[in-house]
Structure 1
Amino acid sequence: MAAPSIVLIGNLVAMGSPLGLLCLRVVVASFIASGFAAPSAQQARHLLLPAPSHRCHECEYVVAEEDRGHSDGDKQTIADCFCAKPKSLLFRCKVAHKIKAIKVKYEKIVKQASNAIIVKKDLHVDRPVPSSNTRTHREPSILSHVEDSKIPKRDQEKDDIISKILQYNEAEDDRTVLSIVGLGGSGKTTLAKHICHDYKIKEHFKEMIFWVYVSQDFDVDKLIGRLFETIVRKKSNLQVEQNMPREISNKLGGKKFLLVLDDAWHRAKRGWEQFMVNLKSGAPGSKILLTTRDLKVAEIVKSRHIFELGMLSEDESWSLFLKSSGCVEEDLGFQYIEVGKEILNRCSGVPLAIRTLGGILSENKEISIRCKGLVTFPESIGKLRKLRTLELNYADDLESLPQSIGDCQDLQSLILYPCRKIREIPGTICKIKNLRALHISECSFLKQFPSEFTGVFSNLQTINLANATQFQELPSTLSCPLLCTLDLSRTKVTMLPPWVTTIGTLECINLEFCFKLVELPKGIGSLKRLAVLNIKGCSKLRCVPSGIGKLTRLTQLGLFVVGCGRDDARISELENLDRLSGKLEIRNLKYLKDPCDAKKACLKQKNGIKTLVLDWSLDKEEKELASDVEQEQGVLSALEPPSQIESLKIKGYQGPCLPRWLMEQIGHLTSLESLDLVYCGALAELPEGIGQLSALRRLFIQGCPALQCLPQSIQRLTALQSLVIAECRALASRYKQGVGPEWHLISHIPFVRIS
């Protein structure tokens, strides 16, 4: 069974003193990418969250627990409130906007957790949170164990509630309801647990203390089933539904009981009345204790007593933090205390947030960091020998990492996103042999790796330099035998070093919008496991190397450039790439002389391609070739797209007419939403069947001076939302808005621009 994980996402500063190390260990979250793959939304969970609200009652602190080893679906979450924005330090804590419900065995989870903790904020607590709760309704752990309270304020509130529970008034009915109301994380459930474990309550109600978890997914029949299982101690799914109320009544008949209804959200009065009728058989003095975040719920169930829990004061928060962390105030320096209290002030007095931060310290967890406003990073980071993940987000003023980072021998993930002023990565990073993921994205000043960045990275699986817009080249020699992902998108790399083609484990090479890239390594066809070779937007790429057709696992290519050299790939190499999907642009079609070669590309069979660009134009630097009209017509005819194509662009084509699949058989393109015809100088007519394109929403025509008119059937394109005509003099005159002789054919289109 995999250990549960607890994830904390927040932003705090690390100081250069030992205090910085303390803050680092307290506030940071660590993620371990499962299977050592690149972090994903499910694995890393390090999204940037909304800024904090100034109204603390709208903030929630969320600790999300995920036990992936359970097959019975026993997965829960724990939610509470946390908000951080210290005035004396250059940092803030980010938190997210959804609460999740409370997990049963919290103490056990905390001890087992090896990952991180999430702090979420700006949460509207009166909004129900989508939940997949499957918490056991008998809650055996809640009624079998509870740790001692560390909050004097809650002890006093507990005594007040117990006195009301034990109080008997003959005027009261057989089931008096008391409610505990408070924000998530304020300690409602914990307080109810302590009440159930109080010796006076146990003595008064004997064995008749029951606990039912309600949740926001209120269903009367299911709730009665939970009540049945709790009281009768039998499985409800094995019982006749009509018999359960009778058995509940028999069990409670003439006996005083205490029933806790935990985490109630339902506001419909009728639903509660249908449920409460099952509790009438109890003896006078029976009590129902309900916990809820919503005062309205407490009123609907006709609570005789309502106890609203407040948040802890500054002194109470500090006291709880010391008890939870095991720290002794006398042993802490002035700076420790000052910063510690600043942090706790932003917890808004929420007990669970404070306990969690204290728990991190007491258990010495492995950590990562997310922060904003960080100017310097402490050399003491090297003392964190067990640090597995270091994550710096939005440290916009940080220019470098300390050399001591190389001493973090257990570091597996280094994530900088975005640290815009980072200019270099310390050479000592080469000492970290356990490094598995290196993410340095949106670092605008980083140009290259240090000269020491050589040798063998035996565990490195991900290199992500996306949006490092000044990065120019990878080291000429490097060994990463387990590398799976190489992301250099939007960098200034001009070519890939030869060692890239020797890594048989590579599955993804992302070079999207590398405007300086001029060539790919010749041996790229040897990367048999490659599924993504994204070269979309590489405008200076001169050709694709021969052998690309061997990459039969490719699902994403983005661009194919027809070359004229002996070592360049022929377009027929696309034949076996049947898994291609998304967008495919085929450029430099002027170099394609043989329509039969184009036919072998089998584009029609590649149903995953949704956007196709066929481009005959050449770069400005290349010599313009004379057009062979018959040849171009044959090539376009052979490059018929799949029938499910959604967007088609034809650029630089010099034939006078379109191929048969566009003229006579256009009706089979039932999914086509966008059609672009750009600089097709000799094109004289459009297909009359264009009116059959029921899905067409956009038609763009530019630089087609030979076109004299649009098909009459264009008026049948009721889905067409946009028509743009540019650099087409005859069309501009004929369809001029309001005055053109055939303006009426296109006047139904919402957006028309003719220039």
Structure 2
Amino acid sequence: KLGELESELRCAGLLLDDAEQKLIKEKKVKEWFDELRETVYDADDLVYKIKTEALRNQQNNSFKTKVKNFLPTSFEKAIKGEIDGIVEKLKYLQKNNPGLRRVEKQELPERLPTPLAKESDVYGRDADKETIIKLLLSDDVSGDNLSVIAIVGMGGIGKTTLAQLVFDDERIKSNFNCKEWFTVEHGKVDCLKLMQKIIEKMTSDGFTIEEPFDLQNKLKETLMDKKFFFVFDDVWDDDRQKWNLLKSSLASGLCGSKILVTTRSTDVVSDMKAGRSIQYDLKEVSYEDGWLLFSTYARIDANMDEYSDDLQEIGRDIVRKCNGLPLAIKSLASLLAHERDKEKWVNILKNDIWDLYEKKSIDILPALWWSYYYLPSHLKSCFAYCALIPKSYRVTKQDIILLWIAEDLLCSTSNERMIEFGEECFRDLISRSFFQPAAHEDESAFVMHDLMHDLANFVSGEFRFVMDDNDLSNFSSKVRHLSYMGRDPKKFEALSKTKGLRTLILLEFESGKPWSLRMDHLLESLLRTWNCLRVLALYERNITKLPDSIGDLKYLRYLELVCHQIEEIPKTVCNLYSLQILMLKYCSNLTRLPTNIGNLINLRHLLLPPYLKEMPLQIGKLTSLQTLNKFVVGKNNGSAGIKQLKELQSLRGTLHISGIGNVTGIQDGLEAVLKDKKFLSELSLSWEWDIDDLPKENEVFGALKPHTNLKELAINAYRGTNFPNWVGDQLFSNLVKVTLYNCTNCSVLPPLGQLSSLKDLKIVGFDGVKEINSEFYYSSAGSHVRGTKPFRSLESLRFEFLSKLEKWSFIEGKVEG
């Protein structure tokens, strides 16, 4: 049965490429596409239920290799019936598709050329134009023949228009022997075809050279003794080998030759590096320039009150909504050029730009749509899922990646590499302008541009929905992923018609206002109608308790609690055998974890609250853990000792170990706690203030030697008198940041000058240090190699609260950083 289901899914998948190309143009295709997606959701839920039942039986020691041997008869019968129903639905959809072609390999659609720009119709780009021209006309002091300037920005921001203005400027014409424009088809660089085009345009020869070696030589010969200016428009290809091949041929031109590239991807810039490579980030136009652009295309006088004040005000609000994107402004203005009905202007103001496209306002959507269409399939799914994020909502990279993992959107890679693969996906989306850094925020915070959010909403259709108390009009029974920002629990009654909700994120709407929905009532609804829930996130500071029934959400893979008043997690949470991600880092009143946490055999990511007092004894059973932000060594015998960390060999990223003073002395195997954890990049070690046995502290610290792959190390409140030999050992050549806090009994600083990659060093609160001498630069064991200099990579050095420091001995001429 499962084999037949897989076969039908594969056959239906052959229609997806043609459907995806047409769904933006044809309503019937979008309806068919959504119906197919709903069926695929049902199939995926079914397979997930089977896997979950197998896991639960495995946990109960009744697992057998074949499904039919362990599934209860009633469950097996129900599953077979559901499979039959889904298979028949897939066959029906294939037979009754709206004229779609089966495509074995994706055929990329033709990209229409950008209309030629008239300088009189362009606003707000004078300064950008002058900057680009200045870069193009400047001499390359490096002596390299070829330089690359890349205009980088999101779709619709006006990269090609700016390049056209630069290309047509008389100063460019007079400074270069020749200039040519090349639009890169589908954003993918065909090196041989592009070289052929360059030769044809430069020589007017119509012949074709098929041998790559001959083609390269012909191109070099053609460009020799020429100072050229080329524009490569709309480049998406970041294949370094292709660019290396091109550059080797193009470098034969005269010194001062330039290439101007337009791209949405910063990766393209890094891969195209020639003698000098400059990235120019194109920003949105100002509001005033946007208004001038709007008034030109809407055919109204921006300076005279020819029309009513109301239209002027509405038009200005429309410009604000476009967020400085010229293509969006032109699209909306063109639609309104022959319309003077105030009500219609108001309707446009209140509708998303995707609604306008369905009414044949098509200019903005192609720009963003092609950005999406060319994404690899896994990135399409990752981006579409982000429609759950409310507009202007700040998110962190880690939070998004963990949600992707919970929804199996990164299933194309191994479990061990999933975080790294997720980071690659997120970087790729950033480089293509789907996400952008949040202004004036921590560098880990990101936001999605409103137009990109509209795109995510469009491709998600009815399956993802952001809801508040004022908007239930677009809510559909098909919704699978829901985020809610509101205060009225009665609104949840409308959700009872959902049949397979996978994601529920409840966001705090307004601080200080209590939420009247009782958690037991919510979970009762979840269990009754949303029995496929995989992700549950509760951002609500006034929730004080979770009911035991939360343990009945047997398909849950992700549980996040941002609930400051919660003091205890029910033991029934540990019945969630499928749980992979447990996020508790903002539960500030939570001090202990359930004692039976070892039942969570699939838990891979555990983020703990700030004031946890101890670890449960069963923590060592969580051998699948990859993320554990902290480990607290407790004072009681009933808590886990530090040796439990030895069992968690897959840990990666950041780990903070606190309460090290509670370690009861050197134990067998203590050296193995950290030394084999080669995937850890950041380690923090903390002691308590009230330590009596200082010799023990020295020994324990010495035994906690980490793997040499470590990149960042922080040590806090160590009470020993000396640092162990591994601190400052030159074998830790990957360390780039070291922070030492409040080690008040230490009189000598460790030999950190030996760390060849150390860039950032901070030392705070060393009351016992009176002198900084040569031991700070080299170890006393004489491990200094003749000719090497200490602190060769140091960029930042900060000392604070060394209250007894009297002398600092420098090594003249030998400190390189």
Task: Return the TM-score normalized by structure 1.
Answer: 0.50
Q: Greater Rg, structure 1 or structure 2?
A: 1
Question: Which protein has the bigger helix share?
Answer: 2
The structure with higher relative contact order (CA 8 Å, sep 6+) is 1
